Each structure stands twice: as structure tokens, then as C-alpha cells.
């Protein structure tokens, strides 16, 4: 552990690392913030979507005549109104987009593949008429057998969602179709030899329930078309440039003919990196010539939008008696939902990534089933495999009689450790987070009756990529920053802080906004914990261009060589023979002379940022289990995460809190419950129970700062890895509280009671 | 910048599809663009695939594939699946 953990007290930065009042706070709590559902235009129609009552059925016919005849109905559309798309996977492995699939997810064609699958849509003068029109659409279905559970979907006799789907990644290719879309394998060393050399081997199997991201704001948008055929969309999303690209493709338009305005977002967690209602509203608008607004209900969100996968997993770990891991094997089977594309590849890559293991095999299966197509959810895939791996890690530690954190620390990866998927780790940070928990007084605190303590670690890649930013000096010397990154976690504040720090001005002199798709360069989604890193680099680069221009203007004002001017402390300073004799020029003073020195001062920077550096987290959870009810109470939770450097520590701590809360919900309560016909029974927050404040203690966030040398301020992504260890930490705590290992999530009270009654110890 | 030899590694699915199973290459290159062009000359179509569908780890640092990445002598280059987050 050569890397220095920066002590926040030693920072010399003036703005970065401070905690100014968050600019988005007041608008959000006073109702001034405008979300996707808050936009309206004159002449606006309401759109609504008819959804499948069946989990799996062939569509024989759709008759919309009665709906179209209803007074007040302006348009009715089905999949036939969307252009057909070519069947091809486009783009990178994990997120390969197949528009043949996407257009069928937006509006079913030959078959409906899950309850809630859209089959038709209407635009009408108000919501009531739109709703009445939906009831007049006659769909003739041929119900088909369905399958939801991933193990059931992989059986040879399972009902097939696609009769011609041949598993990719298997050679020779299977001669029969199945629901297995893809097989993935990563291998390092010789796992068989590794296990043969092990003194102890633990093998365990696990299942996790599918869960939803649980964002509070349902999907909603407003779309309009102008006379020239340009579409305009106001939408809540994690990436308005992606909304623009997908809508343009699905409607057969040029990307430049779609303009998307970013609305405030009420949570996304990955689930708003894809589209649902946007192309439907846009098509209805194009057909009617009116603006059209569609807002999902909560039931729509649960039944029709992308949750993350349920899974079935088996993990085997072999160790020497001294605690060294010598081999690991994992088989991870993930529900993709109705179309291929679960995050199982990430799961296979991340599961064993925190550790230095010489022999690893990690296999993943992407399996379609009759559920909504899965969408990204906070470090997609990694929390699921971490639950299996970290639970097994605890069992291994117990078997060899070793402290579970010291066991993890002994095997922790560091810069130079070989990964199973190819390259070596380039950054430290894993051991530092383990040590932060190991050294925390809570780790040695006594526990009471029915109480248990669990720990777990996790890895997530963090992303960089394409981002754009502009920085303009206004007439009075204040600064306007615009980026293309949707602000989900406080990025307007962090962008303003990085700009203020770079320019050397006060934070309250800088105002940051999110610009629409026509006003700023392409910027990839707010996801993958990439914004503060990648868009932050763009902001700093734009600021540096502005500084160069400010120095040029100052040289002009002083009539000196440009090379004699430097920017220090928010001022242009003369360094030539008259250094110290010429008063520095402030940004405000230079802005006042902008016209006579060349006009407005501003710059844009677009980057494709790399070297994001991964995130590591280690967590501690104390629980108390009620033996009468099986209820699990979280007593204490500590999350130690390597964040590189926290620009606004309060926002970063908020990310850590949020990830842990979602992990606790995943561990204890959240699950999709289906009846025998494949109908979702708990499509609302009363029955799909995410944790609320009264369920939780104050979560302690420990910001470990191992700076990333690839970012001007050392930033590493902070939004995702916090959820990765959480389910395993809770599971290990429950195991230690009751002496029995539950191997299925959620560990709801009935399951805990059943485990207590079973008498078998894990 | 002098030409330098880089060790280039492809994941199995790429090597199966494009290179008859060959996974590792030694390539003289100054930039990542040189690597992509060299591989594409040997295996037509591979360059486009690498540009559009992979990320690249250069000495462990993960980047989007971009032509301009400079390479140090003896560096390790892994073309790996692109990762998307939530």
C-alpha cells in the first residue's frame, strides 16, 4: 500500500473539498424544479399506452377502429407505425444495441413477451379520453406458456421467447434454439490445478430476486414537431443525447432533426439510460401535429421498465491454510428479461476482481425470460456476483478460522495484480478500503444477543468517455459553465466547484447548467460513475483555455508580451521587469475590457476521457434478528469507499448512503412477486418495499482518498461501487447473527424464520 | 516518438472470430492507431470492430479506443469488452 491516503485536513485547494450549499436543493424541496412530467405546451394532447395482460402471447390482430372513432381521440398507433429495424447487434458487448429488439420493446410486434409490454398507444384531448380509447382497442391474443425464473428458462423444455435464438459464445454453435442468448467465459491460469492444490474448498449456490431501481420519478416526457419536421422532446433521462439518438433511429430521422431538452431527474440509477415513452410521444406528435405528453404510472414503471436481473449462481473458492486464495470459479446465470442484454458480463468480470487470485474461471449466461427487458442498475451486475462471491469468502474465512477482513486484506488486489479478464489492475484502493474498516472502532465493538456483524468488499470499473463543456466569462466577470451531463448526483455543484478552483474565483461566482442537445457537444450518459471524472476533465480543460485567453487579454491591456503574464489566484499577473509594480487584473476587470480586447471570452472542450480508475468499497453491517418474526434490523452500517478525491464531500457521502440503502433493500425486502400466470403482484411501493428512513440507522460514510492521477483533482467515480458489497455485508451479518446461511435474496422475514426453524447451520 | 513494440492481447471471442484463435501479438507502434491499423491489415474488419465495440486497457488503464493514445515501449494492450454503468 504505497499510495498515500490524502487527509482532507491537508488539502491546499480552496474550493474542491468544501461543502457549499447545494444549488439544486431549494428548487427540489420547494417544487420549482421541473421534472419530465412538469412540461406543458399550448394545444397539448395526452398520450397513453395499452399494455399486455399476458406474460407471453402471440398477437393475432389489433383492431383500433373503435378507439379511433371515439370523439377526442387524435391518433392511435401500433408497432406497424414504427419503421422495422434490421436485426443486428451494434456497439459494445455488454450494451450492444439491437434496434430490432428495441423497437419491439417499445411496441410489441409479433408477440408480447411480458405483462405490461406495450401494444398500442393513443393521443387524445385529455387523459380520460385517452384512457377510454385504450379500452376500445381490441387485441386478439393467443396466450403462450411463459417462463420467468432463470433456471427454469434454461431448461431444454422451457417455453421459448424467440424460436430462432441460438446461443452466442458457444462453439460449435448449438443446433437447437434456447432462451440462452449468450455464454461468456473469462479464465486466468489453471483453475483445476489451483483447486487441486487447495487445502480447503468451499462451494455454494445462491439465487437473487429481480429488483427494480426504485426511482421515485416515473418516466415522462413531452414531444412536439414543428412545421419543418424537427422534433423536440422534454424528458427526464440519464442522457438526453442517447434519447436523441434512439428516438431518431426508431422514427427514421436524422439525429440532428431531434432536439432534446434535459428535465430535472427524480432518480435513475441506470434505469433511465434507455427509452420507453419518448419515441411513442414523438410519433404521436408527428401524426397529430400537436405536442403530446406521456407520463407513466407507478404500475407502468414496475411492469414495463427495466429492472435488474434475478440470478442463479454457484461460486467455488479454494485456499491454502494460511489464507491465500489459490483458485476461484463462478457460474453466473442472469435473467435478461424479454430481450438479450443482462449485465452478466460485468458480473463475471467484477466478482473476483477485488482479489489477487492466480487461477480463476468465471462463466456467465444471459438468459431471456418473460419479464421486462433488464436495464442498468448501479454498477450493473457487480452487486449480484459480489453477493455470491463475498458470501462464499466469509464461509471460507470461517472454515480456516481467519478474521474475514484480514482474509480479504491478505488477498486484496493492488496495482499490478492480474485480472481474470486480461489486463493488470493499474490502481490501488482495494486494500485501503478494507483497512479503513479493519481500523474502525466499530469492527471491535461488542455485539448483543441475536446480533451479528458482516463485512464485504466490492469492485466496480468506473467509466470515462465522451463529454463536453463550455465556460463563458459573462460581462460582469461571473462565470457560466454548461455541460452535456444530466445532473443526478449534484454534478452542477461539482462542475462549478472545479471551474471555480481552476479559475481561482469564488464558488458563488460560477453558475453551472445542463445544456440541451443543440447547445453543447455530444456527451455520453450520466452513468458508470463517469460524470465528475470525464465531464469534470472537460470543464477543467475549458477553464484552462479561458485562462489562456484571459492572459492574452491582460497582455493586450498592459501592452506586454503574452509570455510575461501568468494566471494566479484568480488574477492575471505580470511577471516581467515590472512584476509587482503592475496591479494584477481580476477576471472582472478583464471581462470589462472584453470588447476592446477582442470580444466575448469563452471556450468549449470536448474530451474522450480515459484512465477513470476503478472504485473499491468495503462495508460493515451490524444486524439484529428478531427470532419471533424473522425481521432483520440494521443496527449500524459503515461504508468505506475509495473516491479518489471528493469534490463536494456531502454529495459524495450522499452517493455512499444511497448505494448502501439500495443494497439493504435488495438484501432484505425487494423482489418481484409473480403469480402462476406471470402477472406481477406487487407493482407499487406499498407492496414492493424499498427501505425508508425509519428502517435505517445513520449510515457512516468513510471517504478513502487515493487520488487518481488521471484527473486534475484526483477524482474517481463515486456513484456505484457503494452498492456492490452491501447485500453480502447484510447476508454475512445475518449469518453471523443466527448461525445459518441464507442463500436466497431477499432475506425476508418468512425466509429468515424458515432458516431458524430448519435447524441446519450454514 | 520512436516506434516501440507493444504486446497486444485480444479476448477469446475476438480471436475466434478474426484471428483463427491467435490471441497475442507483438506490434511495432507509436500510437494505438498504429496497432489498430496493423491488426486490420492482417485481419480485415478487425480494426473497425476494435474501434466500435471494445475498450482498451493500456498498462491496465482503461480507455475508450482512440487513435491518439501514445504507447510506451513494452506496454501491454488488452482489447476488452466495453463496460457501461448505471
Contacts of B54 in chain A (CB under 8 A): 92-93
pLDDT at residue A23, rounded to an integer: 84
A4, pLDDT greater than 60: no
- pLDDT for A66 beyond 70: yes
A71-117 confidence digits (pLDDT tens): 999 999 999 999 999 988 776 554 568 899 999 999 999 999 999 99
What is the Rg, in whole angstroms, of the alpha carbon atoms belonging to chain B? 12
- The answer to whether the CB atoms of B85 and A530 lie below 8 A apart is yes
User: Is the reported ipTM for this assembly greater than 0.90?
Assistant: no
For residue A529, what is the nearest residue in chain B, using CA coordinates?
B85
- Please compute the mean of the pLDDT values over residues A281-290 and round it to a whole number: 97
Cell of A672: 418481484
Inter-chain CB proximity B83 and A427 less than 8 Å:
no
Return the pLDDT at A412: 98
Output the pLDDT for position A462: 94
C-alpha–C-alpha distance, residues A148 and A115, integer Å: 11
Residue A198 has pLDDT above 90, yes or no: yes
Q: State the pLDDT at residue A93.
A: 52
Low-confidence ranges of chain B (pLDDT < 70): 1-4
- B window 64-83, beta carbon within 8 A of A: 64, 66, 69, 76, 78, 80-83
Given a cut of 90, is residue A655 above it in pLDDT?
yes
The C-alpha cell that represents A609 in the structure block: 476521457
Name the nearest CA neighbour of A467 among A95, A94, A717. Answer: A717
A429 lies within 8 A of chain B by CB: no
Quick: pLDDT tens for A204-232. Answer: 999 999 999 999 999 999 999 987 889 99
Please, which pLDDT band fits residue A761 given cuts at 50, 70 and 90? low
Verify whether the Cβ–Cβ distance A463 to B84 is below 8 Å. yes
Q: Which domains, from first to last, does chain A contain?
A: 37-144+218-265+272-304 (3.90.1170.50), 311-462+613-758 (3.30.365.10), 465-609 (3.30.365.10)
Instruction: Provide the mean pLDDT of chain A.
Output: 95
Q: Quick check: A528 and B11 CB within 8 A?
A: no
**% of chain A with per-residue pLDDT over 90:** 93
Is pLDDT above 60 for A2?
Answer: no
Assess whether pLDDT exceeds 50 at residue A5: no
Residues in B touching A607 (Cβ below 8 Å): none
Q: Measure the CA–CA gap between A418 and A294, rounded to whole angstroms.
A: 49
DSSP A113-174: -STT-EEEEEEESSHHHHHHHHHH-EEEEEE-----SHHHHHSTTSPPSSTT-PPBT-SSPP
Q: Is A612 on the interface with B (CB under 8 A)?
A: yes
Q: pLDDT band at residue A749, thresholds of 50, 70 and 90? A: very high
Confidence of residue A593 (pLDDT cuts 50, 70, 90): very high
A8 pLDDT tier (thresholds 50, 70, 90): very low
- Note if the bond before A172 is cis, omega within 30 degrees: yes
Segment A444-451 shows an average pLDDT of 98
Q: What is the pLDDT of residue A583?
A: 94
Instruction: Give me the mean pLDDT over the A347-366 stretch.
Output: 97
pTM of the model: 0.95
Q: Give the separation between CA A760 and CA A745, rounded to whole angstroms.
A: 18
Whether the per-residue pLDDT at A399 is higher than 70: the answer is yes
Task: Report pLDDT digits (tens) over A296-354.
Answer: 999 999 999 999 999 999 999 999 999 999 999 999 999 999 999 999 999 999 999 99
What pLDDT, on a 0 to 100 scale, did the predictor assign at position A12? 83
Domains, in order of start, for chain B: 4-81 (3.10.20.30)
The residue of chain A with its CA nearest to that of B14 is: A169
Helix (H, G, I), strand (E, B) or coil at A484: coil
Distance from CA of B82 to the nearest CA of A (A): 5
- The pLDDT value recorded for residue A6 is 40
B63 — contact with chain A (CB < 8 Å)? yes
Look at A95 and B53 and tell me if their CB atoms are within 8 Å. no
Predicted pLDDT of residue A7: 45
Residue-wise pLDDT for A718-735, tens only, equals 999 999 999 999 999 999
CB contact under 8 A, A91 and B52: yes
pLDDT digits (tens, 9 = 90+) for A561-587: 999 999 999 999 999 787 888 999 999
Is residue A727 within 8 Å of A381, Cβ to Cβ?
Answer: no
- Per-residue pLDDT band for A3 (boundaries 50, 70, 90) equals very low
Put simply, the answer to whether A169 touches B85 (Cβ < 8 Å) is no
pLDDT at A760 over 60: no
Q: Which of A48-52, A137-141, A420-424 has the lowest mean pLDDT?
A: A420-424
Is B17 part of the contact surface with chain A (CB cutoff 8 Å)? no
Average pLDDT, integer, range A736-750? 97
The pLDDT tens digits for A467-526 are 999 999 999 999 999 999 999 989 999 999 999 999 999 999 999 999 999 999 999 999
Distance CA A336, CA A657 (A): 28
Amino acid at each position: 500500500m504505497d499510495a498515500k491516503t490524502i487527509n482532507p485536513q491537508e488539502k491546499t485547494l480552496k474550493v474542491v473539498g468544501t461543502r457549499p450549499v447545494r444549488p439544486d436543493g431549494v428548487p427540489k424541496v420547494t417544487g420549482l424544479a421541473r421534472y419530465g412530467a412538469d412540461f406543458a405546451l399550448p394545444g397539448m394532447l395526452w398520450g397513453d399506452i395499452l399494455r399486455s395482460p399476458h406474460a407471453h402471447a402471440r398477437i393475432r390482430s389489433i383492431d383500433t377502429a373503435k378507439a379511433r372513432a371515439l370523439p377526442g381521440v387524435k391518433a392511435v398507433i401500433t408497432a406497424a407505425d414504427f419503421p422495422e429495424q434490421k436485426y443486428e447487434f451494434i456497439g459494445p458487448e455488454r450494451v450492444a444495441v439491437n434496434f430490432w429488439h428495441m423497437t419491439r420493446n417499445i411496441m410489441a410486434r409479433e408477440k408480447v413477451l411480458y405483462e405490461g409490454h406495450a401494444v398500442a398507444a393513443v393521443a387524445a384531448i385529455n387523459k380520460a379520453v385517452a384512457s377510454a380509447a385504450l379500452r376500445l382497442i381490441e387485441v386478439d391474443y393467443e396466450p403462450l406458456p411463459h417462463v420467468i425464473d432463470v433456471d427454469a428458462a434454461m431448461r431444454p423444455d422451457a417455453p421459448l421467447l424467440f424460436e430462432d435464438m441460438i446461443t452466442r459464445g458457444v462453439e460449435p454453435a448449438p443446433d437447437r434454439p434456447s432462451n440462452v442468448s449468450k455464454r461468456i467465459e473469462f479464465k486466468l491460469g489453471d483453475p483445476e490445478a489451483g483447486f487441486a492444490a487447495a487445502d480447503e474448498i468451499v462451494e455454494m449456490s445462491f439465487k437473487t430476486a429481480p429488483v427494480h431501481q426504485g426511482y421515485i420519478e416515473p418516466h415522462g416526457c413531452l414531444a412536439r414537431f414543428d412545421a419543418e419536421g424537427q422534433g423536440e422532446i422534454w424528458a427526464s433521462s440519464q442522457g438526453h443525447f442517447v434519447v436523441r439518438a434512439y428516438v431518431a433511429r426508431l422514427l427514421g430521422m436524422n439525429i440532428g432533426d431531434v432536439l432534446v431538452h434535459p428535465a430535472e431527474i427524480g432518480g435513475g440509477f441506470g434505469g433511465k439510460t434507455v427509452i420507453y415513452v419518448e419515441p411513442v410521444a414523438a410519433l404521436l406528435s408527428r401524426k397529430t401535429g400537436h405536442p403530446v405528453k406521456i407520463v407513466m404510472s407507478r404500475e407502468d414503471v414496475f411492469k414495463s421498465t427495466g429492472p435488474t436481473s434475478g440470478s442463479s449462481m454457484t461460486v467455488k473458492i479454494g485456499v491454502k491454510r494460511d489464507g491465500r486464495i489459490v483458485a476461484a470459479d463462478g457460474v453466473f446465470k442472469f435473467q435478461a428479461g424479454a430481450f438479450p442484454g443482462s449485465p452478466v458480463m460485468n458480473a463475471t468480470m467484477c466478482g473476483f476482481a477485488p482479489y489477487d487470485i492466480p487461477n480463476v474461471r468465471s462463466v456467465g449466461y444471459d438468459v431471456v425470460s418473460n419479464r421486462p427487458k433488464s436495464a442498468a442498475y448501479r454498477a450493473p451486475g457487480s452487486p449480484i456476483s459480489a453477493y455470491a462471491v463475498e458470501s462464499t469468502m466469509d464461509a471460507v474465512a470461517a472454515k480456516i478460522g481467519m478474521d474475514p477482513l484480514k482474509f480479504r486484506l491478505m488477498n486484496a488486489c493492488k496495482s499490478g495484480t492480474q485480472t481474470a479478464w486480461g489486463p493488470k489492475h493499474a490502481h490501488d484502493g482495494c486494500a485501503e478500503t478494507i483497512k479503513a474498516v479493519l481500523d474502525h472502532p466499530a469492527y471491535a465493538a461488542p455485539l448483543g444477543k441475536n446480533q451479528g456483524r458482516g463485512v464485504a468488499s466490492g469492485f466496480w470499473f468506473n467509466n470515462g468517455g465522451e463529454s463536453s463543456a463550455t465556460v463563458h466569462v459573462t460581462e460582469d466577470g461571473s462565470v457560466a459553465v454548461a455541460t452535456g451531463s444530466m445532473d443526478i448526483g449534484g454534478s452542477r455543484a461539482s462542475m462549478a466547484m472545479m471551474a471555480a478552483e481552476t479559475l481561482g474565483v469564488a464558488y458563488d461566482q460560477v453558475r453551472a447548467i445542463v445544456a440541451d442537445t443543440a447547445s453543447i457537444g455530444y456527451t455520453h450518459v450520466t452513468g458508470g460513475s463517469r460524470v465528475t471524472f470525464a465531464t469534470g476533465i472537460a470543464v477543467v480543460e475549458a477553464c484552462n483555455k479561458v485562462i489562456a485567453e484571459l492572459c492574452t487579454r491582460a497582455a493586450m491591456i498592459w501592452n506586454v508580451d503574452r509570455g510575461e503574464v501568468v494566471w494566479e489566484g484568480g488574477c492575471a499577473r505580470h511577471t516581467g521587469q515590472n512584476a509587482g509594480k503592475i496591479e494584477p487584473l481580476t477576471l472582472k476587470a478583464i471581462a470589462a475590457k472584453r470588447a476592446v480586447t477582442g470580444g466575448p471570452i469563452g471556450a468549449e472542450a470536448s474530451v474522450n476521457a480515459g484512465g477513470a480508475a476503478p472504485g473499491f468499497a468495503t462495508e460493515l453491517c451490524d444486524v439484529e434478528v428478531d427470532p419471533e418474526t424473522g425481521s432483520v434490523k440494521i443496527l449500524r452500517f459503515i461504508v468505506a469507499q475509495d473516491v479518489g478525491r471528493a469534490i463536494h464531500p456531502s454529495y459524495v457521502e450522499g452517493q455512499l448512503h444511497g448505494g448502501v440503502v439500495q443494497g439493504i433493500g435488495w438484501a432484505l425486502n425487494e423482489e418481484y412477486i409473480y403469480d402462476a400466470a406471470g402477472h406481477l403482484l406487487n407493482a407499487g411501493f406499498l407492496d414492493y418495499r424499498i427501505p425508508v428512513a425509519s428502517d435505517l440507522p445513520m449510515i457512516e460514510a468513510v471517504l478513502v482518498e487515493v487520488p487518481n492521477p488521471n484527473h486534475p483533482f484526483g477524482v474517481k467515480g463515486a456513484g456505484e461501487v457503494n452498492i456492490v458489497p452491501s447485500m453480502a455485508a447484510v447476508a454475512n451479518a445475518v449469518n453471523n447473527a443466527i448461525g445459518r446461511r441464507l442463500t436466497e435474496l431477499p432475506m425476508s422475514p418468512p425466509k429468515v424464520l424458515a432458516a431458524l426453524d430448519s435447524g441446519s447451520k450454514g | 516518438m520512436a516506434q516501440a513494440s507493444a504486446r497486444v492481447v485480444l479476448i477469446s471471442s475476438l480471436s475466434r472470430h478474426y484471428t483463427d484463435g491467435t490471441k497475442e501479438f507483438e506490434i511495432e507502434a507509436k500510437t494505438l492507431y498504429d496497432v489498430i491499423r496493423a491488426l486490420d491489415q492482417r485481419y480485415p474488419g478487425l480494426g473497425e470492430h476494435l474501434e466500435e465495440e471494445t475498450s482498451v486497457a493500456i498498462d491496465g488503464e482503461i480507455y475508450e479506443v482512440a487513435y491518439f493514445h501514445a504507447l510506451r515501449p513494452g506496454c501491454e494492450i488488452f482489447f476488452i469488452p466495453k463496460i457501461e454503468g448505471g
